[in-house]
Structure 1
């Protein structure tokens, strides 16, 4: 099947060709015809499968065919959990609508709202937003959602993980009941199914890949190394392999900063990206990484679903996540859109149960190797993996866990800045 077979307009097909796309991915092939027919969609799509184009292309086709005269009301709303994902989706919307008379905008916290308000007042057809800033500006009267006809909830499972349930319900109360709903999630937990029941009307279920599976284009490796030797191993891998673009995941913000400093001391250009960084610093670090101005980007799980780096060759789990599902999202930053990629995990004795939990979720074995000269000697007992990221409370508040497995208090989301970065948390 080709994109021409899907029934999209010529202006959209032209933009798709300019992006170099020729054949739709499975999620695009399955979802686009139903969306064009006005159906609600409940889609299971792993990262890197082309899901953004899967909902954006038919959405733009519909909006362009029903353009209204006069001031542009918001007719399509795309809700995302993180700033990075919002920025990425917005960029895709702009690229796919380059030949259409469609105006789009993105709003999120962490930056001043003045410029966003100015853009909204000029009229916007498609709005990409994080929940906190969206509700903040709606409360200020800077935007209206009364004309929304297409509502997209992207990364719904991540939304619930971050405690956005109350905000999602509030947003839904502000948009018309008669609308098309498109809900995308990497996993279909009981909470996700319950949320879908309140949002979707007679939805068509679409699945591109089974839950919690890594794309076949990713080569997965695990090295058993001592905890104190990980930095040295990472440095050697990058230098000896002459790797020019490497995304490294740590469990904590402090760990990301510490590793970045050590890489810089070893003459490897690097930057960290996590929740304590300003939005400007996060945007700059990501831009430098994409432009190959720095070799390494060190990130916490805040980046696991919000980063789209074309042809990223290497992902390293400096520390394994204690929530096994997060492993899938981390390594999904490579091997995107059919490209090949390599995911390497450094596993110390404390993380052996984390690896077992990941293998159970993946339903496959990840062979563990030992690097000559770095034979492990640590005898620290394994820490237990978490079976779920957070326990949801009423109204979407939740508790998270520290890396030691103990519960950590979470503050309620009282303003836009807190909603988009819901708490001072280990992210």
Structure 2
């Protein structure tokens, strides 16, 4: 039997057993670089995109280093959204079931939207591993129910999103109560300037791991551009999704208000539409995620911040109703489809004002296919740049022709018409020359 490549990290046999059951055989780039350092207790800043295997790059060393014979908190993993916290918790449980019966792993997930008093009542025995959102962990800590001072490892997942959502202050309050020689593992798609003072406060000479994805987006995503022209945007979106008939599509907007407008408009047309944005109450959000998991919707309208860190299975199509102002979010959005080796379509409705953003995305290595929906059929159209270059070429020919026609100093009757005729003749001549030289 071929050896599992995770065995060379010298994990406990029961962890290897769990790895085999999950089906992991070879570490990803980020796991290869993070696991050895994390096992030694080194603090790490890991910069990598979604889908690179970062969750297990910190989870495996934490599980290896936990001593289940000590009934105390030993590691804390913080996540900006309840959905992400719950996903990490589910991954940890897959390993917990393999721990020996005499020394079981006690892992708990704490987040808002759950009964706080019931949680406090159950904290008479401290968990080994705490996973959750910063606000709830901080509240339990301040109520002296959760004893974080024994924990030596803190994970901050999706740190840039933590910053965007205003949770770094809560993370700071947790970190300051933990062990003095704290191992901090920070993972983020980007490292914003505003995050650096916080990192400097807790991390002295951390190991920096930057894993560039081999491709900006998944290999099996087809990136499609659809021009809006003078059409109604909601109607075009409706026609697109009818034509695509997706297994499951996520439609992205830039604001909560627009998300509601799009969702309401599609629902008014009789479509099964869910929505994910920051204005949903914890109860509504939980109910929505359950409905999405149960495949009650064919379409989900979402905003970026709400959708980051949510792993929704079976997304066949991602549609950008609006192009994000932060183009990194284009990568996050489109990364929701074509997961686990499946193919997917990322379609973007664009206007003339989006040209600059599209050019920058192309410079990032994204190759777009230009399509249009006409009379219920997909038609392949000319590349945007080809049209632009043609227009530029026409303007240059006109300029050249005008410069070659000598203007008369005295304006005679019919001068304008005569001048225009001469310009047209010169343009024709110039085009003929261009054609000959291009042959």
TM-score class normalised by the smaller sequence = 0.7 to 0.9
Q: 1:229 aligns with which of 229, 232, 235?
A: 232
Structure 1 residues 12 and 337, CA gap change in structure 2 (3 angstroms): farther
* Cα deviations by residue, 1:50-79 (Å, 9 ceiling, x for unpaired): 11111111211111xx2234xx32211111
Q: How far apart are the structure 2 equivalents of 1:120 and 1:97?
A: 19
Any idea what SS the aligned residue of 1:336 has? coil
Greater helix content: 2
Give the equivalent residue in structure 1 for 2:427. none
Aligned counterpart, 2:429: none
Question: What is the match of residue 75 of structure 1?
Answer: 74
Write the mapping of 1:117-266 to structure 2, written as runs, cut at 5 A.
Answer: 117-209=120-212, 213-226=216-229, 229-266=232-269
CA distance in 1, matches of 2:209, 2:327: 24
Cα contact 1:48–1:337 (8 A) shared by 2: no
Alignment equivalent of 2:36, drawn from 30, 33, 36: 33
- Per mean C-alpha deviation after superposition, the further-off stretch among 149-158 and 311-320 is 311-320
- What is the root-mean-square deviation in Å for CA atoms of aligned residues? 2.7
Q: Give yes or no for contact 1:80–1:155 (8 Å, CA) kept in 2.
A: yes
2 CA distance for matches of 1:373 and 1:251?
Answer: 29
- Do the aligned partners of residues 236 and 13 (structure 1) sit closer, same or farther apart at CA in structure 2, a change above 3 Å counting? farther
How far apart are 1:43 and its partner, in Å?
0.8
Higher relative contact order (CA 8 A, sep 6+): 1
Q: Give the 3-state SS of the residue equivalent to 1:220 in structure 2.
A: strand
Matched residues in 2 for 1:180 and 1:20: separation?
29
Counterpart-to-counterpart distance in 1, 2:123 and 2:354: 47
Tell me what 1:306 maps to. Answer: 309
**1:370 is matched with which residue?**
372
> What SS does the corresponding residue of 2:374 show, helix, strand or coil?
coil
Match of 1:332 in 2: 335
Q: Deviations over 1:131-164 (max 9, x none)?
A: 2222222222221210112111111111222233
Question: How many pairs does the alignment contain?
Answer: 371
CA distance in structure 2 between the aligned counterparts of 1:204 and 1:194, rounded to whole angstroms: 17
Q: TM-score, normalised by structure 2?
A: 0.77
- Runs of 5+ unmatched residues, structure 1: 377-427
Q: Match of 1:87, SS? A: helix
Instruction: Answer with 1 or 2: which has the greater Rg.
Output: 2
Of the structure 1 ranges 272-281 and 13-22, higher mean CA displacement relative to structure 2 is found in: 13-22
Give TM-score scaled by structure 1 length: 0.79
Task: Give CA-to-partner distance per residue, 1:60-103, whole Å, 9 cap, x none.
Answer: 1111xx2234xx32211111122222222222222232212212
Contact 2:221 2:338 (8 Å CA) reproduced: yes
Whole-angstrom CA distance in 1 between matches of 2:9 and 2:131 = 25
C-alpha separation in 2, matches of 1:34 and 1:336: 28
Partner SS state of residue 5, structure 1: helix
Alignment partners' CA distance in 1, 2:137 and 2:359: 40
Q: 1:68 to 1:323 in 2, by over 3 A?
A: same
